[in-house]
Structure 1
Amino acid sequence: MLVATRTLTTAAKQIARSSSVLGSIRTKHTVPDLDYDYNELEPVISAKIMKLHHDKHHATYVANLNVAEEKFLAAQAKNDIAGQVALYSAINFNGGGHVNHTIFWKNLIGEKNGGGQLHEGALKQKIIEQYGSLDQLTQVVNGKTAGIFGSGWGWLTLNPKGQLDVITTANQDMPSSVGHVPLLGVDAWEHAYYLDYNNVKVDYFKNIWRVINWKDVAKRYDDAVAQIKN
């Protein structure tokens, strides 16, 4: 009973930290529109995968997140701590799915519109400083992402010390859970690549760099650095 009480207390503290955010939510989350057509990322990612990934998988995370938050707010109104704790994992998982995919869509752009092109600037300088070249960075990201056991994400992040970092997260966990700011995410769930690459996920990891929207990644980097300086 003592162990159970301690576990509940820990979870309750996590809920309490997030309740100020959840308590202010009165509008439902929605799936963001894409900035490009479903077929723009071909042949790297097919229109079929994009439509399924965006319209079905992301939409499911959003629907489940809205339901979980409504139930959480109802439990909160009743001061039902156990009920809030029971919903925490659903909010974390579906909320992470929503946030991670929202970043992912922005991280992508077709080759004809600049995909894969890293221009001069602070981010490129930092990549060269820490990794030597963009090619070296991509090898690090691909290596760590390919090593994920099960489902998850590979990330280029800015860590709390202001350095670039390559990390992985399981399932739909977010880099913010370990204090990192996400700059670039690579979805390593099977639904992100299987229809195009079958079980050869390393080809997906290799090819996705052709459609990375480095302008978006660079802006995230600049914004994150500015936040640290402030």
Structure 2
Amino acid sequence: MLAVSISPLGLNLAPRATLGTSMPAFAADDPMFTLPPLPYAYDALEPHIDAATMKFHHDFHHQAYITNLNKAMAGKPKADLVSLMPGAKAAKLNNAGGGHYNHCMFWSTLGPKAGGEPSGALGDAMAKAFGSYDDFKAQFSAAAAGVFGSGWAWL
């Protein structure tokens, strides 16, 4: 059983020290943050996102953010990702830390048989704020296109 730290979003963003790894904590190559496993098969989102794209994006792109975050945190006390967020920009961790956080959220919010127009309170709030779901998608896509990271934006 793994001991994990849960962020407000329910994401597993704990430093490696709390993940029950067999690597000793004093090992020089013991990274603070590690790539979480993809919560579904690489091909689970086909035909929308193919397995090769998912594998590359998860195993290499997301891993690059983690590698850079671990380099930036080398020699610093262990921390969980959420605790780094308030001072991330000043500490120059916002790109690597934000990339890791965004990708964790990305993997956990995508899934087979997921998505579509929201209903209930969220759907009502979006209709009130944006006019319609289609209007929201257009405004959100336009906002995301102008952000570093090729389209990351949060509602």
Q: Do the two structures share a fold, i.e. TM-score over 0.5?
A: yes
Q: Which TM-score tier does this pair reach, normalised by the shorter chain?
A: 0.5 to 0.7
Q: Normalising by the residue count of structure 2, what TM-score does the alignment of the two structures yield?
A: 0.63
Gap change, CA 1:130 and 1:150, over 3 Å in 2: closer
CA contact (8 A) 1:41 1:109 kept: yes
CA radius of gyration, larger in = 1
- Structure 2 matches for 1:61-210, cutoff 5 A? 61-73=65-77, 88-89=91-92, 91-110=93-112, 113-118=113-118, 120-146=119-145, 148=146, 151-157=149-155
Offset at residue 71 of structure 1 (A): 3.0
Structure 2: distance between partners of 1:115 and 1:33 = 21
Offset at residue 153 of structure 1 (A): 3.2
Query: 3-state DSSP class of the match of 1:115?
Result: coil
Whichever residue aligns with residue 155 of structure 1, its letter is: A
Structure 2: distance between partners of 1:153 and 1:137 = 15
- Number of residue pairs matched? 115
Richer in strand (by share): 1
CA contact (8 A) 2:65 2:99 kept: yes
Offset at residue 69 of structure 1 (A): 1.1
Unaligned 5+ runs, structure 2: 1-14, 18-31, 78-89
Is 1:42 matched up with 2:40?
A: no
Whichever residue aligns with residue 62 of structure 1, its letter is: I
CA contact (8 A) 1:141 1:154 kept: no
Structure 2: distance between partners of 1:98 and 1:129 = 32
Aligned residue in 2 for 1:52: 56
Query: 3-state DSSP class of the match of 2:153?
Result: strand
Offset at residue 72 of structure 1 (A): 3.7
Identity across aligned pairs (percent)? 37
Q: Normalising by the residue count of structure 1, what TM-score does the alignment of the two structures yield?
A: 0.44
User: What RMSD over aligned residues (CA atoms) do the two structures have, in Å?
Assistant: 2.4
Richer in helix (by share): 1
Match of 2:35 among 21, 31, 36: 31
Gap change, CA 1:56 and 1:108, over 3 Å in 2: same
CA contact (8 A) 2:141 2:151 kept: no
| Higher relative contact order, structure no. (Cα contacts within 8 Å, ≥ 6 residues apart) | 1
Offset at residue 149 of structure 1 (A): 6.9
